[in-house]
């Protein structure tokens, strides 16, 4: 569902931020991009979500490329990132309605979808409060609900549990597991090895713009010749991190 072929990205002439990344994410799979601060996770996620073009290489969503099929891709993807801030004066209900209209979701369906997703995340009592009054966790849950309003087959979540307490974090990871069983193709980025270990079927370790190791938790443990994923993560990280 998601295919990257030798993707490169340079923000400036003298530095390459993404240095030739290739991988595939399939239906019913959670793929994890695991890497430290500055590795290039957000850069890659934004390119997959078509917000930015690669300098070279190809990104396909369900076989489609953003050059020719941008609108079709937008209907197929749900994107979440911490980089976008919610308007402090707006409300969950208003934002939900805005995106429902954007995606042509009929009024009759809108109410059911909103009630279901707001109830799942405990948003309902806050639905008419302004964002400036809401907690980080509540805003993150609302962003997740809204990013999936059109039930996209492809889910692109940049650090979805960042800044969340353990209960809120569990609500989010449980939801992602449920979406995996429903056959969605999910890519998430994280710098926390335990999030990748718990959730991901396939993990790519991104360091300094390159994938230095990729596989299941067990494969990465075997590759590093250690006993736990925590040790594997640190060994691989130390072996490849230059600073
Ligand atoms: N718009 C930009 N212009 C120039 N350089 C940028 C730009 N955005 C990011 N970078 C640089 O690209 C590199 C990768 O940044 P990116 O935000 O993709 O990393 P990340 O893995 O998401 O890090 P974090 O864990 O801190 O979110 C960093 O060195 C960053 O400074
Ligand atoms: Mg980032």
**Cα torsion angle, 4, 9, 15, 18, sign:** negative
Cβ(241)–Cβ(234) below 8 Å: no
Structure tokens at 82: 């911490």
**Nearest-atom index, ligand 1, CA of 35:** 21
Span from the CA of 217 to the centroid of ligand 2 (angstroms)? 22
CB-based pocket (< 6 A), ligand 1: 11, 17, 35, 37-43, 191
Q: How far apart are CA 203 and CA 19, in angstroms?
A: 18
pLDDT, tens digit, for every residue of 170-206? 999 999 999 999 999 999 999 999 999 999 999 999 9
Q: What is the pLDDT of residues 117-173, one digit of tens each?
A: 899 899 999 999 999 999 988 999 999 999 999 999 999 999 999 888 898 899 999
- The band of 241, judged by pLDDT with boundaries at 50, 70 and 90, is confident
What atom of ligand 1 comes closest to residue 46's alpha carbon? 18
* Centre of ligand 2 from the C-alpha of residue 46, in Å: 10
User: Domains of the chain by range and CATH?
Assistant: 2-240 (3.40.50.300)
Cα distance between residue 9 and residue 113, in whole Å: 37
DSSP element (H, E) containing 213: strand 210-215
- Using alpha carbons, select from 42, 43, 51 the residue that is nearest to residue 9: 43
Any idea what DSSP says for residue 24? E
| CA atoms of 82 and 61, how far apart (whole Å) | 22
Q: From the alpha carbon of 206, which atom of ligand 1 is closest?
A: 21
Phi, psi of 50 (to 5 degrees): 70, 15
Query: What six digits make up the tokens of 149?
Result: 């309003």
Distance CA 111, CA 113 (A): 6
At 243, is the pLDDT very low, low, confident or very high (cuts 50, 70, 90)? low
Specify the DSSP class assigned to residue 123: -
Question: E-strand spans in 112-166?
Answer: 154-158
- Start-to-end CA span in the chain (Å): 35
User: Distance between CA 145 and CA 67 in Å, rounded?
Assistant: 28
For residues 7-21, give the mean pLDDT.
96
Percentages of the chain per state (helix, strand, coil), in multiples of 5: 45, 25, 35
* Tens of pLDDT, residues 33-75: 999 999 999 999 999 999 999 999 999 999 999 999 999 999 9
Distance CA 22, CA 19 (A): 10
Q: What is the pLDDT of residue 131?
A: 93
Q: Probe ligand 1: pick from 9, 21, 43, max atoms within 8 Å of CB?
A: 43
Integer Cα distance of 73 and 125 in angstroms: 33
* Ligand 1 pocket test, candidate residues 12, 40, 159, most atoms within 8 A of CB: 40
Distance CA 214, CA 223 (A): 9
**Which pLDDT tens digit goes with each residue over 85-114?**
888 999 999 999 988 888 888 888 888 889
Q: Which two tokens stand for residue 136?
A: 């980080």
């Amino acid at each position: 569902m998601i295919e990257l072929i030798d993707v490169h990205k340079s923000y400036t002439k003298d530095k390459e931020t993404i240095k030739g990344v290739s991988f595939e994410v399939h239906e019913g799979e959670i793929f994890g991009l695991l890497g430290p601060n500055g590795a290039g996770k957000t850069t890659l996620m934004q390119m997959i979500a078509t917000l930015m073009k690669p300098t070279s290489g190809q990104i396909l969503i369900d076989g489609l490329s953003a050059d020719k099929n941008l609108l079709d891709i937008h209907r197929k993807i749900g994107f979440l990132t911490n980089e976008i801030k919610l308007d402090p004066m707006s409300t969950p209900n208003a934002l939900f309605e805005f995106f429902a209209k954007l995606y042509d979701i009929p009024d009759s369906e809108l109410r059911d979808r909103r009630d279901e997703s707001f109830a799942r995340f405990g948003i309902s009592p806050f639905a008419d409060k302004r964002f400036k009054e809401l907690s980080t966790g509540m805003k993150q849950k609302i962003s997740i609900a809204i990013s999936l309003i059109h039930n996209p087959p492809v889910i692109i979540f940049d650090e979805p549990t960042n800044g969340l307490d353990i209960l809120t974090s569990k609500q989010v990871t449980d939801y992602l597991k449920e979406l995996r069983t429903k056959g969605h193709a999910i890519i998430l980025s994280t710098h926390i090895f335990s999030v990748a270990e718990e959730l991901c079927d396939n993990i790519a370790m991104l360091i300094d713009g390159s994938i230095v190791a990729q596989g299941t938790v067990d494969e990465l443990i075997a590759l590093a010749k250690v006993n736990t994923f925590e040790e594997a993560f640190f060994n691989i990280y130390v072996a490849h991190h230059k600073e």
